[in-house]
Copies of this chain bind each other. A is one copy, B any other.
């Protein structure tokens, strides 16, 4: 889209972890420093009226800002509006903002194409599908560039899709994938609950929403179906999310039966092609496994691929920061694309390690 000199950006749900991450990245954005990007309204529900200094002391540049209520009075008049809200809100807000605003939604509302899948997993009426924000998938970058609506992907689907899409598109694996994704606790959001207390999560590991119950399951199937140009019903996804004692990071282990005899070198060739020219995808050197600390705070996805001859399976592992490439970084990356700005602007490649 084309706007004037300064793009004014609002963040609804600014005090959650997704909102905070978007703000961290915007404050590092070259267009913010050049004055071409302005951080406008920061809104939230229960914390409206409080200062950023109290709620997010890690963002000192915004210390004196007051959180506003999430309503049209405060969101109108921005060229870009990020939504970091629970699902169920974005369709109406987008309608009220109208077509002149770019709306980038971190909730699940507009990720799924299948109304049936939506209704099965969310139990409410499907709000329709928006352009889906993994620019690295064929055709997506171009679609995003022309759109004023973006559905930011789920964190697990990002890690799993970037791991399996190339092999699925190349037709070398069966459409029956087994994924165990291990995540840090920030994925659960900034909401008080006993199971997410430090005491319950430190020093402990636990699977949850197992055996097809996790809402990210159909989103993964949708992406892999796209790779095969098929319906998502044809993709079987066994998805097991596991909660681990770290704040940021998702390590995905994904495997599927090999459909044909193929060498590891040939597989690497497929992945090299997929990753080449993609600034945020790093296919690691053979023998090196992704480690989540190497992507903390960065918008990168580290990938490794191997052939397990004994099991007759392809194994792909990937690491992302669930709050950066998994949410806030993807959101800013998509903003850059919709605005025609350099896609990497404001998005760290180097991670905060160790």
Contact = CB atoms under 8 A, between A and B. Distances in A.
A51 to B, nearest CB: 8
A260 interface: no
A186 interface: yes
A30 to B, nearest CB: 8
Contacts of A180: 180, 240, 253
Question: How many chain copies does the complex carry?
Answer: 4
B24 A315 contact: no
A202 B183 CA distance: 14
B211 A28 contact: no
A197 B206 contact: no
A58 B353 contact: yes
A196 B198 contact: yes
A139 interface: no
A186 B212 contact: no
Nearest to A204: B293
B238 A61 contact: no
B253 A206 contact: no
A256 B208 CA distance: 18
- Counting from the closest, the 7 A-B pairs by CB-CB distance are A198-B201, A204-B293, A238-B311, A180-B180, A185-B198, A58-B351, A205-B251
23 contacts: A28-B348, A53-B285, A57-B291, A58-B294, A60-B282, A60-B349, A176-B311, A182-B244, A198-B200, A202-B354, A204-B293, A204-B294, A205-B249, A205-B291, A207-B289, A207-B304, A210-B306, A212-B311, A236-B312, A238-B313, A244-B246, A245-B245, A296-B352
